[in-house]
């Protein structure tokens, strides 16, 4: 059965320090360990194609997976995290407002409406690529993208809501056909290894 693996990138210093992330922030040493653990987990799981956000933290995570699986890796900017514009680089504690409020529009960034519309286009690309892939498609992206997809496109188990928090390198397994049933949600079993467990309070994006 064909599957789509929805994966969040590894931890960055911005996650650990609760800073609204800039596009070029790399994985932290802990994030590198998480990405390595993810790659070991999925090395024998039939990943035939990888599609990733082109932001640095997702690229580094996806490249670890490419090295472990030998699957071709492609990038799509539609999978980028929500663009928070001028507030990127600001500590959450210094914002003075709710960054995720439904009516908040970051200066020179994306509104929720624009972000969800972009995620919709990304999902169309994911579905088309999955249909053309003989095997599992791994999609490496960001926390708010995962949340948007889970809340608006995926079929979760009855009584299950889309998580507010998506763990670094979490794996969500999606049936690669409508109605896109989720059989595993936001799983980080591979992070039981020393040095790879998530930092308490890591930011969502």
Q: What is the sign, positive or negative, of the torsion defined by CA atoms of 156, 157, 161, 165?
A: negative
Class of domain 3-192: alpha beta
> CA 190 to CA 77: how far, in whole Å?
27
pTM over 0.85: yes
pLDDT score of 133: 96
For residue 61, what is the enclosing H or E element?
helix 56-69
Is residue 35 within 8 A of residue 27, CB to CB? The reply is yes
Percent residues over pLDDT 70 in the chain: 94
- Is the pLDDT at 200 greater than 80? The verdict is no
For residue 172, give the 3-state DSSP assignment: strand
Cα distances from 194 to residues 43, 60, 129, 133, 191, in angstroms, run 19, 20, 35, 34, 8
Domain ranges for the chain, please list them. 3-192
| Coil, strand or helix at 115 | helix
Task: Express each pLDDT in 175-191 by its tens digit.
Answer: 999 999 999 999 999 99
């Amino acid at each position: 059965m064909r599957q789509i693996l929805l994966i969040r990138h590894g931890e960055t210093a911005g996650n650990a320090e609760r800073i609204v992330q800039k596009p070029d922030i790399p994985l932290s040493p802990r994030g590198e360990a998480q990405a390595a653990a993810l790659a070991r987990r999925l090395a024998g799981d039939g990943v035939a194609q990888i599609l990733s956000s082109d932001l640095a933290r997702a690229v580094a995570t996806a490249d670890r997976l490419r090295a472990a699986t030998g699957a071709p890796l492609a990038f799509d900017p539609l999978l980028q995290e929500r663009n928070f514009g001028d507030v990127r680089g600001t500590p959450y504690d210094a914002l003075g407002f709710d960054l995720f409020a439904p009516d908040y529009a970051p200066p020179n960034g994306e509104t929720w409406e624009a972000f969800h519309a972009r995620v919709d286009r990304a999902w169309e690309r994911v579905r088309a690529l999955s249909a053309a892939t003989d095997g599992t498609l791994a999609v490496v992206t960001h926390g708010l993208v995962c949340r948007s997809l889970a809340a608006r496109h995926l079929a979760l188990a009855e009584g299950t809501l889309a998580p507010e928090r998506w763990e670094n390198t979490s794996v969500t397994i999606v049936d690669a056909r409508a109605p896109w049933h989720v059989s595993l949600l936001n799983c980080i079993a591979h992070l039981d290894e020393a040095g790879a467990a998530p930092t308490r309070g890591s930011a969502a994006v």
